[in-house]
Amino acid sequence: MASKKPRLQALRLRRLVSWGLLALLLASFFNPGALHQVLARLPKIQFGQQLAGVFSRGAVSFVVTFVALALLSVVLGRLFCGFVCPLGALLDLTNFFRQKIKRRGFGFVPSGKKRLAVFPAVMLALFWLGSGHLWGRFEPYSVVASGHFVILALVMALTVRRGRAFCNGWCPTGLVLRFLAWKPKIALHFNREKCLGCGSCQRACPASCVDLENRTIDSGRCLMCLECLPVCPNGSLKYGPVPGPVSDYGRRDFLRLTGVGVLTAGAWLTKSEWRTAGADDEPSPAPILPPGALSVARLNGKCSLCHTCIKACPNRALRPSRSPHAILASKPVVEPYEGFCQYECVVCTEVCPTGALTRLSVESKVVSRLGVARLDREECVVVKNGTSCGACAELCPTGGVAMGPGPSGRDEPTMSTEYCIGCGACQNACPVRPAAAIVVDGLSIQQTAVARVVGEYEDVVPEEDFPF
């Protein structure tokens, strides 16, 4: 009887890595300041996010990372799903507690249902064409990171009912990995002579991919969760080189690897204008896009709705868009009533895992115009209430708003829009509610403002306290 200890240790190691990465990711969401580097790096190893970067023609680094992860899957199987995927880790935890409570096993489900590939394939096509809404709703990292609790709850409920069915039937990243790992050279496999046919491995497999009758494992659906290893009483299951000539690449292998190359090269080389569906129907006025978004059309074509930028924003200025317009649904936008875009902050551009937000230097950020402030003078408390104020000018970092003598006989806000970067600080500071007297209108295409001259604008020190 083979010792179970090494196989149990392999399962524990897999859980330690998988659950540890999930815990680290969730911790970085709640404390982005202290764990900024974690939030900036972990999304970069997410297969779905790198695939999104390739499809949106991001930097060459997306192609390199995607190809590396793809080749890893071709040779070693779906290690990503078992060890790295945050949603996979969460569903694995769900299944762990399910087994503790119900102690009900799984069975084998044949893999002949081609219709299961239709939904993820449609999402891939829509993302390539410039609509990442469906992709972002079901891509595993985005499901966890964006906090779509209804979808997350439904996925977890499906896990309780059917195991990891979501990973092989609905997950767009899972579709690609299932294709790549169809016939890996190193994988879980049976030792037919040792197998007793007890069915323990089949009952433990949440992916329902262990065919006990034929002593085979569907490697394309195997999530490398390793749950089957320690339950096998005599070690007839093992992870290692699949029996057979390793160098014997057949026609399917050739087509598979060729498909990976064509997918990667074609997606990356396709002109970006082809993936801006709906760009001519941009909402007007546009909301305030995050720095580095550059345009509504570009954000639409590249953003995968993972909301990593929203989690990382130190001033809580970014929020999911509530726009009814399909292009901007749930995409990150600056909400000045909640917070404003800090003058020299570039955190959101550093953590974006798909290139939807171009990485900006501080020098570029401080002249990146997200919108233009507009003053409703009649609603300003200086004019309407005859009170001294100056909150908008006090917080304006560029001198786009300043205080000067006005018709009311008091110092009133004056606008120099060439300096305005649309950060929303003035709107956030304005005491007038429910609608501020000074608001920022976003730009569908971001611009470059006139650079502030150091020392030209001095901080305004009010003669009396603000009346609010």
Q: Is residue 462 part of a domain?
A: no
pLDDT of residue 259: 63
Q: Are residues 140 and 228 both part of a single domain?
A: yes
Query: What 3-state class would DSSP assign to 216?
Result: strand
Q: Is residue 461 part of a domain?
A: no
Q: Which residues of 84-98 are buried (b: 16+ CB within 10 A; e: fewer)?
A: bbbbbbbbbbbbeeb
Q: Are residues 258 and 363 both part of a single domain?
A: no
Q: Are residues 108 and 230 both part of a single domain?
A: yes
Encoded amino acid at 396, one letter: C
Q: Are residues 345 and 227 both part of a single domain?
A: no
Q: Is residue 463 part of a domain?
A: no
Q: Is residue 23 part of a domain?
A: yes
Phi, psi of 428 (to 5 degrees): -65, -35
H/E element, 256: helix 251-269
Q: Is residue 456 part of a domain?
A: no
DSSP 427: H
Q: Are residues 176 and 50 both part of a single domain?
A: yes
pLDDT of residue 319: 93
Q: Is residue 453 part of a domain?
A: no
In angstroms, rounded to a whole number, what is the distance separating the alpha carbons of residues 443 and 424? 13
Count of domains forming the chain = 2
Q: Which residues of 219-244 are buried (b: 16+ CB within 10 A; e: fewer)?
A: bbbbbbbbbbbbbbeebbbbbeeeee
Indicate which CATH number applies to the domain containing 334.
3.30.70.20
Q: Are residues 239 and 323 both part of a single domain?
A: no
Q: Are residues 437 and 293 both part of a single domain?
A: yes
Q: Are residues 369 and 259 both part of a single domain?
A: no
pLDDT of residue 122: 76
Q: 199: domain range?
A: 5-266
pLDDT of residue 181: 87
Encoded amino acid at 365, one letter: K
Nearest partner of 277 among 128, 139, 142, 135, judged by Cα: 128
Q: Are residues 234 and 315 both part of a single domain?
A: no
Residues of the chain below pLDDT 70: 1-2, 103, 112-120, 130-132, 244-285, 324-327, 453-468
In angstroms, rounded to a whole number, what is the distance separating the alpha carbons of residues 50 and 228? 30
pLDDT of residue 275: 52
Q: Are residues 48 and 170 both part of a single domain?
A: yes
In angstroms, rounded to a whole number, what is the distance separating the alpha carbons of residues 228 and 317? 46
Q: Are residues 108 and 252 both part of a single domain?
A: yes
pLDDT of residue 223: 94
Q: Is residue 457 part of a domain?
A: no
